[in-house]
Amino acid sequence: MKAEHPQAVNEAPIDFSAHTMTEIQRVIDLFPAGKQKSAILRILHFVQEEFGWVSVGAMNRVAQILDIQPIEVYEVATFYTMFHLDPVGKNVLEVCRTGPCQLVGSDDIISYIEQTLDIKVGETSKDGMFTLKTVECLGACGYGPMLMCKYKFYEHLTKEKVNELLDAMRDASQS
């Protein structure tokens, strides 16, 4: 018998909205019978769009829908940094921390964001506006230091650019 994460055993599968279920079925139907597991990535994106993150209960439900073992969903969700496994703020700041970005100051940018928002990597600001994450290569090595938020890249970051970015995001949330 396989040992599962204790939280996974105790967390019941959750239900998705009718819209999400329609989209999930549409994607599953793109694959041949017996190959529905190929839809995991897109389904996890749908789940995250609905809830803002991917809980164990959501992963358990995905496993039921695809008729696969929950561990098969956990493996995918935990491998990719694009999936948030805990609740996150309205703006998830994903700062590249690989070699090329480090050489041009990503560590300083990460420290500056931590200081400015009074959070550490992996935490969310008290106002719920920002979560800070570090990620492996965002594929823009010539433009570092950089971060991604809501699938948009912010390149050649400086402390001033970070301040402008955070202010713009705060302003946007008040509109």
Average pLDDT over residues 90-114: 95
Residue 68 parent element (H or E): none
> Could you tell me which of 132, 84, 138 has the C-alpha nearest to residue 110?
132
Q: Kindly report, as residue ranges, where domains of CATH 1.10.10 are found in the chain.
A: 6-79
Tell me the per-residue pLDDT of 130-155, one tens digit each, with 9 for 90 and over.
999 999 888 888 999 999 998 899 99
CA distance 117 to 95: 14
The DSSP string of 47-108 is HHHHHSS--HHHHHHHHHHHTS-HHHHHHHHHH-TTS-SS---SEEEEEE-SHHHHHTTHHH
Q: Which CATH architecture has domain 91-174?
A: 3-Layer(aba) Sandwich (3.40)
DSSP state of 73: H
> Could you tell me which of 60, 66, 74, 72 has the C-alpha nearest to residue 35?
66
Tell me the per-residue pLDDT of 37-61, one tens digit each, with 9 for 90 and over.
999 999 999 999 999 999 999 999 9
Tell me the per-residue pLDDT of 61-79, one tens digit each, with 9 for 90 and over.
999 999 999 999 999 999 9
- Residue 92, strand partner residues: 131
Q: What percent of the chain has pLDDT over 70?
A: 94
**63 near 73, Cβ under 8 Å?**
yes
CA distance 152 to 143: 13
Q: Quote the pLDDT of residue 9.
A: 52
Q: Quote the pLDDT of residue 88.
A: 95
Task: Respond yes or no on whether the N-terminal peptide bond of residue 100 is cis (omega within 30° of 0).
Answer: no
Task: Respond yes or no on whether the N-terminal peptide bond of residue 13 is cis (omega within 30° of 0).
Answer: no
Written as six digits, the tokens of 65 are: 């829908």
Q: Which CATH number fits domain 6-79: 3.30.1490, 1.10.760, 1.10.10, 3.90.1690?
A: 1.10.10
Q: Kindly report, as residue ranges, where domains of CATH 3.40.30.10 are found in the chain.
A: 91-174
